[in-house]
Amino acid sequence: MRLITAVIFSAALLFGARAFAATPVAATPPMGWNSWNFFADKVSDADVRAAADALVSSGMRDAGYVYVNIDDGWQGVRDANGVIQPNAHFPDMKALADYIHARGLKLGLYSSPGSKTCGGYTGSLGHETQDAHRYADWGVDYLKYDLCSYIQDVMQAQAPRDPDRQMQLMIGAYRRMHAALKATDRPIVFSLCQYGWDAPWEWATGTDIGGNLWRTTGDITPEWDRIYAIATQQAGLAAYAGPGHWNDPDMLEVGNGKLTPAENRAHFSWWAMLAAPLLAGNDLAHMTPATRAILTQRVVIAIDQDPLGQQATRAYADGEIEVWTRPLQGGALALAIFNVGSDRHAGSHPMHLSLSRLGLKSGQPAHDLWSNQVVTLVEGMPIAMQRHDVMLLRIDAPVAALPPR
């Protein structure tokens, strides 16, 4: 009897361990918060705890935001054995990880394959294995790995004037950290940050690199022109996204800078259509109810997190209007109409929706995900929208137009 119990117990342990090892990370785009866009490298343990508390009290955690990611600025120096120490703003990283985990959240950290991060803090060059184990010991669940000084330290130093070799060296840096993370046996989301150089969507998901997400552009700023430029640069990348591997148009600026309510809504809608990681970048502990309402609009989050994982494509763009569509699980369709006009008259006249250009039949119902109303979509219908605003629709049972005879 004892033997049978022991056998069953060992089998359960083995199965459990396998199931754990096989747990896929980032099956849908990662959601959470990142310190950089608001705090930059002035971030502290207290700020991170406040953000974790706010994720819980605002309802954001329950809406899916679970990663609490500390970006650049947590690192101190290495000790005599080369082990990385946090700086004075982070007195006890393990205690901080425990605090975050106790709230049902996960911890993310940031490093660089170079000797220095972009902010001039200690990077992982030559210490990749040691750092990966350190992260796993702390209980880190997510790593953003930012190219920074690796460009000068290794790519330009070892291969001046040889772009092909430089690219191989860059890929090698991500391969090395992936192997180091894998050797820890802890599921850790691997976020590549190299600003979209050399088309990472083509190589970052390789099994020896294991990128769960990769930045597709340079840095975002809380300005409509930058957000629009990044969003429109994503046209053409849909084929590369899917469960476990996502294009990353950078962290959210919702609630930052001087973005208008329309711009915050359009930015959030666009990222949801793009199956982008939803990493809030604002001061969660002091956000306005309007910002909170946007970040927790569940029907919009559901577009981002749709299990099919198919990123939107641009259906058409005419002057001031851009129309994007995204197929959803079960045959549904998300449809986003953006007013990208910028002059002060933009929005003072209605736009017209062409269903025929989308291959859709006139006269079908759709759910407006911001006004929460059912609307009937009709060919050529006028849509009144202010500049930089969006109409985001979900069509649960889209009816295709009959092909012309």
Active site residues: 146, 219
Residue 119: burial class (beta carbons within 10 Å; 0-12, 13-18, 19+):
middle
Indicate if the alpha-carbon torsion angle 350, 356, 358, 361 is positive or negative. positive
Q: Rounded CA gap, 251 and 193, in Å?
A: 12
Q: 61 vs 88, 103, 122, 284, 389, CA distance in Å?
A: 28, 9, 31, 12, 27
Up-side HSE of residue 56: CA atoms within 13 Å toward CB? 13
In the complex, the smallest distance separating the C-beta of residue 280 from ligand GLA, rounded to whole angstroms, is: 14
Residue from 36, 67, 150, 338 in contact with ligand GLA (CB under 6 A):
36
Q: 164 vs 155, 159, 160, 366, CA distance in Å?
A: 10, 9, 10, 49
Task: For residue 299, give the nearest of 401, 183, 399, 396 by alpha carbon.
Answer: 396
Q: At what angle do helices 128-138 and 163-182 cross, to 10 degrees?
A: 40
**Piece of 88-96, 117-125, 298-306, 344-352 that binds ligand GLA (CB under 6 A):** 117-125
In the complex, the smallest distance separating the C-beta of residue 118 from ligand GLA, rounded to whole angstroms, is: 3
**Piece of 3-11, 12-20, 111-119, 307-315 that binds ligand GLA (CB under 6 A):** 111-119
Residue 36 or residue 65: which is nearer to ligand GLA going by CB? Answer: 36
Residue from 131, 146, 283, 306 in contact with ligand GLA (CB under 6 A):
146
Cα pseudo-dihedral 276, 292, 34, 207, rounded to 10: -30
Total of residues contacting ligand GLA (CB under 6 A):
9
In the complex, the smallest distance separating the C-beta of residue 197 from ligand GLA, rounded to whole angstroms, is: 12
Q: Does 149 bind ligand GLA (CB under 6 A)?
A: no
Q: Where are the beta strands (DSSP E) in 48-129?
A: 67-69, 75-78, 84-86, 106-111
Residue carrying the six token digits 């980032």: 26
The DSSP output letter for 135 is H
Q: Which amino acid is at 215?
A: R
Q: Does 248 bind ligand GLA (CB under 6 A)?
A: no
Q: Does 44 bind ligand GLA (CB under 6 A)?
A: no
In the complex, the smallest distance separating the C-beta of residue 166 from ligand GLA, rounded to whole angstroms, is: 19
Residue from 119, 172, 242, 243 in contact with ligand GLA (CB under 6 A):
119
Residue carrying the six token digits 């552009």: 217
Residue from 29, 32, 35, 72 in contact with ligand GLA (CB under 6 A):
72
Greatest CA separation for the chain: 82
Q: Rounded CA gap, 128 and 112, in Å?
A: 10
Residue 149 or residue 205: which is nearer to ligand GLA going by CB? Answer: 149
Q: Does 283 bind ligand GLA (CB under 6 A)?
A: no
Q: Cβ(184)–Cβ(133) under 8 Å? A: yes
Residue from 58, 69, 117, 205 in contact with ligand GLA (CB under 6 A):
117
Residue 36 or residue 138: which is nearer to ligand GLA going by CB? Answer: 36
Residue from 43, 118, 213, 280 in contact with ligand GLA (CB under 6 A):
118
Ramachandran assignment for 306, one of left (phi > 0), alpha (psi -120 to 50 degrees), beta (any other):
beta
Q: Does 306 bind ligand GLA (CB under 6 A)?
A: no
Residue 150 or residue 338: which is nearer to ligand GLA going by CB? Answer: 150
- Contact map string, positions 213 to 232, toward ligand GLA, x by CB under 6 A: ------x-------------
Residue 112 or residue 339: which is nearer to ligand GLA going by CB? Answer: 112
Residue 71 or residue 320: which is nearer to ligand GLA going by CB? Answer: 71
Q: Which amino acid is at 318?
A: D
- Contact map string, positions 159 to 198, toward ligand GLA, x by CB under 6 A: ----------------------------------x-----
Report strand pairing: 246-248 vs 31-34: unpaired
Residue 112 or residue 305: which is nearer to ligand GLA going by CB? Answer: 112
Residues that bind ligand GLA in the complex, under the rule CB under 6 A: 36, 71-72, 117-119, 146, 193, 219
